Each structure stands twice: as structure tokens, then as C-alpha cells.
Amino acid sequence: SLGVVRSAPEAMPQDYAGKFDVSEYYVAKPEDATKEFVMQQTMFRVKDPKRSLDFYTKVLGMKLITVGDFPQWGFTVFFVGYPPEKDLGPVPEKDEDKFAYCMKVPGCVELTWNHGSEAEEADRVYNTGNGDTTGSADGQKVRGGFGHIGITVPDVYAACQRFKDMGAEFHKSPNAGGMKGLAFVKDPDGYLVEILPLGKGFPFPTQETDCCGVSLSGGEGYADNSKK
């Protein structure tokens, strides 16, 4: 038995009243069988591989690590990320070695291009999971479960100024919203990327005015993007 507790079909929904005790999870020891597991990838379907690779490699500074081309099934995958080269060494030069190397790199993004999507008329063709109408059969907003990926940077405000200068679209600038010192930018397909300060605790470092001209006292409160 894996020891996973599943609710009985007749069990009533649990109301946590906004609080949940996680103390047991902090002290729980992982199963020995999982000690070498790695959180390796998140997959996004993208319309146009060029614009997506331009964003992830040039704007966010990730590396293209490996490519998998599957013409017989009509799709290609591109793995991008920040390989820890001090631990793993440089990305191999030979294509046949790149995939195995990539499978050791934590936190990659797998960009999946279904051939032909680049020719579709709409600028964005996939639902991002954040309460948008893209891809819904009835044109109504979807209550999405997926939220975002996130990267950490030494200086959120400097990074966001760079993103703005490169034409990135902001969902939230560092001083907007209720939580200050973090930001969200959109990739070309509308997926959210959170920008957080490297190695800093909350409350995060702030500046009086951010790249979009929003002051610390400006912006609105928290919004649940799944219901927008």
C-alpha cells in the first residue's frame, strides 16, 4: 500500500475555514523509493515555436537544452530551462546526449508545438487555466486550475524594467496588487510567469516606483485569477 488516503464516495466536503495545519508534512520523511525523483518539467502547448523560444531564451534567459521532433505524430517539443552547469557540467554538444542530460535538470519548461497551430488566425489558441475564454467551446470563461510558473531573480525591479524594455506584457507589475515586490509577465501564449526575489523572505524588497510607473501605494488588492 502507498498509504494514500482517499475520501470515501459518500464523504461530505471538508470546510477548512481558510486554515489548514501542515505541520505533519514538514516533518514527514519521503519514501526511500522517491529519494532520487526530480521535479523536471512543466509542459505548455504553444502556437508559434519561434516567438516562444525568443521569449524564454532571450527575455527570461533560459537555455534551449534539447529538442524532440515527432513528425509522425505532428508535434515537436522544446525543453528550456536554467541547467545547473556547476553540478551537471555544460549542455552536451551531441544531440543524442542532450535528452538524457535534460532529464537531470530540475524545473524545465517543455514547449509543445502542434504542427500547423502557427497558421491559425487567432493570436492565442490555448486556454491558460486562468479564467480566460480561449479554447472554450461556448465562449465562456473557464474556472482554471493551472496558475503559473515562477522564476527568481536577484532584483525584481531591475528584471522587470528589462522585460518591459524588451516588450514583455505585464499581468502585474511589482507595485501593482496587494503583494508588493513580485510581478507576473505573460509569455506569448498568455501563460503567466511569476517574478520573485532570489533568496528573500516576505515582505519582499520594494522600490517607490516600478517599471510601469506604479507607486507602492498604488495598485489594487488580490484577485483570484481562476475566476476572472
pLDDT category at 131 given cuts 50, 70, 90 is: confident
Give me the mean pLDDT over the 219-224 stretch.
60
Residue type, 175: N
pLDDT, position 221: 55
- CA pseudo-torsion sign 164, 169, 174, 176: positive
Interatomic CA distance for residues 39 and 107, integer angstroms = 6
pLDDT, position 10: 62
Q: What angle do CA 116, 118, 124 make, to 5 degrees?
A: 125
Residue 5 has pLDDT above 80, yes or no: no
169 is an active site residue: no
Residue from 52, 47, 103 nearest 75 by CA? 47
The reply to whether omega before 154 is within 30° of 0 (cis) is: no
Interatomic CA distance for residues 129 and 224, integer angstroms = 12
Cα–Cα distances (Å) from 121 to 33, 48, 116, in that order, read 48, 12, 11
Q: pLDDT above 90 covers what percent of the chain?
A: 79
Interatomic CA distance for residues 28 and 5, integer angstroms = 15
pLDDT, position 143: 85
pLDDT category at 1 given cuts 50, 70, 90 is: very low
pLDDT in tens, 143-162: 888 999 999 999 999 999 99
Cα–Cα distances (Å) from 75 to 36, 54, 94, 98, 116, in that order, read 30, 19, 22, 19, 9
pLDDT, position 217: 87
Cell matching residue 43: 509542459
Length of the chain: 228
Q: Which residues are paired to 113 by β-bridges?
A: 46, 76
The reply to whether omega before 30 is within 30° of 0 (cis) is: no
Residue showing cell 552547469: 85
* Average pLDDT value over all residues in the chain: 92
pLDDT in tens, 52-94: 999 999 999 999 999 999 999 999 999 999 999 999 999 999 9
pLDDT in tens, 20-58: 999 999 999 999 999 999 999 999 999 999 999 999 999
pLDDT category at 182 given cuts 50, 70, 90 is: very high
Catalytic position from the list 24, 93, 110, 194: 194
